[in-house]
A and B are shown apart, each in its own frame.
Chain A
Amino acid sequence: MESKMRPEAGVLGVFSDLARGAQAIRALRAAGHSDVRMASPAPFPELVEALGRPRSRLDSATLSGALLGVLAGFALCIGTAIAWPLVTGGKAIVSVPPFVIIAFEVSVLVGACVNLVALAVTAGRGRRRRPVPFDPRFSADRIGIFVVGDGLGDAETILRTNGAEEVRRVA
């Protein structure tokens, strides 16, 4: 399914070997190409490491969601217990130990939901900001390495010498 977004002009290399793809990325970065992108059918850590991209920062959103969940869980239990102050089982109206269970469950629930939203937002934004030309092979059995910026002739040579089975210009 082709993306509606139009990627910038650049050079696209297609690889069928993971080690060669990672090697090509490293060579491109060593040659001064700062905007190197990639599309692959699986989360190969070698490629992600070679790209040297910073770690995703969705942690802060997820952990904030979990913390919010703890507070919401306690607020729900304590607030409703005070709103209807009925002693049950001889326990205190605000009996914290049983409320910890609810707070924990709500924390996990809200944390997981926020994690999902954060993933959708960050991954979608990343895809729009750093698009790679669509090729159905990149979700099957090929790795696409896309270079954007100046010195595209040099990038073409690097991709070929590192074992790209196909190199083409994207206008």
Chain B
Amino acid sequence: MQLEYFQMIDRVVEMDLDRRTIRIEAIVPEKSTVFEGHFPGHPLLPGTLMIEAMAQSLGFLTLNVLEWARVPLLTGVTKAKIRRFIEPETTLLIDATLLQDGQGYAVGEAEISHNGKRVANASLSYVVTPFPSEVMKSALLEVKERILNA
């Protein structure tokens, strides 16, 4: 993870496009400016960034299901729970499932775990649109190369 750059996912462990599932590894960094404020003397990964990590994991799966023809942009978070506090240098697993994709939308679920214990989970929805920018698409393709080959 590079929290300052919203790079929340580090490595694809498994991806099954037929079953529409993905497992991602994400390692919370030892140091980050985020921890200077959250919290002084007691660094914790913000719950909002856990949501972002789940959203990026399911988003990456959706991009691949859609064969990179369109991009999913997060529009809804429901049934979200932050169940454990996460400290720096923790290795997280993120499992996501794409449950339904229709014309212009995608919906799924994701869960973060650590050492077999559930850390957070949420239902997520996206609007699925043409890439608004070639720069954005190129940047996301770089992410693809990074996390598929890590």
Are both chains from one complex?
Answer: no
